[in-house]
Structure 1
Amino acid sequence: MSHDHHHVDPNAGDGRLIGAIAVNLGLTVAQVAGGLVSGSLAMIADALHNFSDAISLVIAAAARRIARRPSNQDMPFGYARAEVVAALVNYTTLIVIGLYLAMEAVLRFLSPERVEGWLVVVIAGVALVVDLVTALLTWTMSKDSVNIRAAFLHNIADALGSVAVIAAGTLILLFGWTWVDPAVTLLIAGYILWMAFSEIGGVIRILMLGSPPAMVPGDVLSEAEAIEGVAGMHRAHLWQIDEHEAALQAHVVVNEGAWERADDIKAHVKARMRDRFGISHVVLEMECARHACASPVRWGDA
């Protein structure tokens, strides 16, 4: 499976991020005020989700700046994983918010309160516009960053949440169904939790040095072992450095009769890994078949 990468100017989009942060913070203040005045828990739930998006964008913007730092003796792989750490913080925060909103919705079911439906509809309508504007600001950058892509999806989810809040406010105006407000809150909380849990696994996989999900590890080694002169590979490590870069480290066993071509074989393996799988960081330890490791493991050092 080929592994293509799309590279962009790392400084591109900073202005859009600042704009997206500003409109989300402004919207959060308006929604909290409107939720308190109207008594709508659903609006406050949507406000908290918008606030989490704004904070997510702040963390992502800071992580982008840190990720641009060059590698050094303390960080030989560079700082690219700052964005992965930021994503973990963002998704963990979303899980906490989702659980809190679910608890508040259940309490509101048990103790209903009066809701001003007209104010809910007006402010949720404004929120819908702001959510769509924010999504437009982050759409281009979402193609190249796990953090910005998550923020983009969050804003699309916010837009859907605003539509749900508008529907709830309308039903309250028409029929007085105040139970719709905590019901919508539960739906928003459920969606936040589903989204966070579905995304956080990939982030944890990177931090745990897992193999790239788009690759089949066995195929990677088999491709190298198909090269003439390679008798086998063992003690392999295949992991993601960050969202876009993967690395491979392994012992390569060279056929006895091909040892004089060991350097050429190493270069061939590296080229095959780059061209076939997009793995540009490859470290290989060459072994002659006569003196290869005894009883080697296929993966890892155990």
Structure 2
Amino acid sequence: MENHHNHNHGHHHHQVEGKNLLFSIVLNIVITVAQVIGGILSGSLALISDALHNFSDVLSLVFSYVAHKLSRKKASVNQTFGYKRAELIAAFVNAMTLIVVALFLVFEATERFFHPQIIEFGLVIWLSILGIAMNGLSVLLLKNDADKNLNMKSAYLHLFTDMLASVAVLIGGLLMKYFQWFWVDSVLTLVIAIYLIIVGFDLLKKSTQMLMLFTPSHLDINDIISEVHKISGVNKLHHIHVWYLNEEELHLEAHLDCSEDIKMSEFNVLLDKVEQVLLEKFHINHINIQPEYKKEEDSKDFIVQD
């Protein structure tokens, strides 16, 4: 089987500043601890929900950092792909955690809505300001890395939405201070919880699809077949599998039935054309092709479960 990797122009590994990520983790741990303590003392469920949101992002940042370190490890005879899928496992676990936490918050907020409590709004206001400041700093630290790396972009977006959540809690604190609208605390908790469910479900769906080696949702196998079949010398592309190894590596393996009985050197020329089409039109950067010619005993179905 021909195994070609378009490393030079298919994808690029950017050096991410690990120290910025570590600093963001420390900042978010400080925010989380402060908001949990403040939430308990003030009686604000919204503050605690924002703290749990921040904590989920601490886990996400830690997973991102560990995955970043693991991805640098070289493949071996026992780990032929290295640790490139560690990120996906971390994302799956993080998504499940987000959803469980969110469902707990929905239950608590519903209970609190019917039995409102007087809340120490001073703590809520000051701790939400702390959250805005520290999350804002983390966002600035990761902005450069977010432009280069999808994993860091995910962490950056989480921190940015954390900052917005803290802004919402601040507004709630001000409404409680000036209008005594203590029910706002439960409403804000529900809003944050619903947001967590949406983000968590999306992350869970994407990570599950990747872990299950599903065909990426933005690709159509029939489009791939149609484009490859336009290449002179190709009879039929079949036994096709397309999957993400991680967020950067998109793989395709297939059997290629040639229209003529050509030499291997000629097949290499044909393979280069196929690779070029797959890379330019579908951004597939790792390709394994098995050459064939009138191999009648082999199934020529496009999709075959081996």
| TM-score higher than 0.5 | yes
Aligned with residue 135 of structure 2, among 127, 131, 134: 131
Q: 2:283 matched to 1:297?
A: no
Aligned with residue 8 of structure 1, among 2, 7, 14: 14
Could you tell me how far apart the structure 2 residues matched to 1:145 and 1:94 are? 23
Count of aligned positions: 296
Q: 2:268 matched to 1:272?
A: no
After TM superposition, give the deviation of residue 149 of structure 1 in Å. Answer: 2.4
Could you tell me how far apart the structure 2 residues matched to 1:139 and 1:192 are? 22
2:92, 2:203 within 8 Å by CA — same for their partners in 1? no
After TM superposition, give the deviation of residue 215 of structure 1 in Å. Answer: 2.9
Higher mean displacement: 36-45 or 206-215: 206-215
Aligned with residue 288 of structure 2, among 258, 283, 286: 283
After superposition, what is the alpha-carbon deviation per residue over 1:63-91, rounded to whole angstroms, capped at 9, x for unaligned? 11112111112222221111111111211
Q: Which residue pairs with 1:114 in the alignment?
A: 118
One-letter amino acid of the counterpart of residue 60, structure 2: S
Could you tell me how far apart the structure 2 residues matched to 1:162 and 1:27 are? 10
2:210, 2:246 within 8 Å by CA — same for their partners in 1? yes
SS in 2 for 1:84: helix
After TM superposition, give the deviation of residue 238 of structure 1 in Å. Answer: 1.2
Aligned with residue 37 of structure 1, among 27, 30, 41: 41
Task: Spell out the pairing of 1:243-262 with structure 2 (5 A cutoff).
Answer: 243-256=247-260, 258-260=261-263, 261-262=266-267
Q: Which residue pairs with 1:56 in the alignment?
A: 60
Q: Which residue pairs with 1:167 in the alignment?
A: 171
SS in 2 for 1:139: helix
1:84, 1:147 within 8 Å by CA — same for their partners in 2? no
Q: Which residue pairs with 1:181 in the alignment?
A: 185
Gap runs ≥5 in structure 2 = 1-8
After TM superposition, give the deviation of residue 230 of structure 1 in Å. Answer: 0.9
Could you tell me how far apart the structure 2 residues matched to 1:244 and 1:270 are? 17
Q: Which residue pairs with 2:85 in the alignment?
A: 81
Could you tell me how far apart the structure 1 residues matched to 2:268 and 2:12 are? 31
Could you tell me how far apart the structure 2 residues matched to 1:292 and 1:273 are? 26
Q: Which residue pairs with 1:203 in the alignment?
A: 207
Q: Which residue pairs with 1:66 in the alignment?
A: 70
One-letter amino acid of the counterpart of residue 268, structure 1: K
After TM superposition, give the deviation of residue 255 of structure 1 in Å. Answer: 1.5
1:145, 1:243 within 8 Å by CA — same for their partners in 2? no
Q: Which residue pairs with 2:196 in the alignment?
A: 192
After superposition, what is the alpha-carbon deviation per residue over 1:45-65, rounded to whole angstroms, capped at 9, x for unaligned? 111111111121112111111
1:6, 1:144 within 8 Å by CA — same for their partners in 2? no
After superposition, what is the alpha-carbon deviation per residue over 1:160-214, rounded to whole angstroms, capped at 9, x for unaligned? 1111111111111112111111111111111111111123222211111122334
Aligned with residue 236 of structure 1, among 222, 234, 240: 240
Aligned with residue 18 of structure 1, among 22, 43, 49: 22
> Alpha carbons of 1:121 and 1:294: their partners in 2 closer, same or farther (altered >3 Å)?
same
After TM superposition, give the deviation of residue 278 of structure 1 in Å. Answer: 3.2
TM-score by length of 1: 0.91
Say what the alpha-carbon RMSD is for the aligned residues: 2.0
Aligned with residue 213 of structure 1, among 207, 212, 217: 217
2:121, 2:176 within 8 Å by CA — same for their partners in 1? yes
Matched residues, percent identical? 36
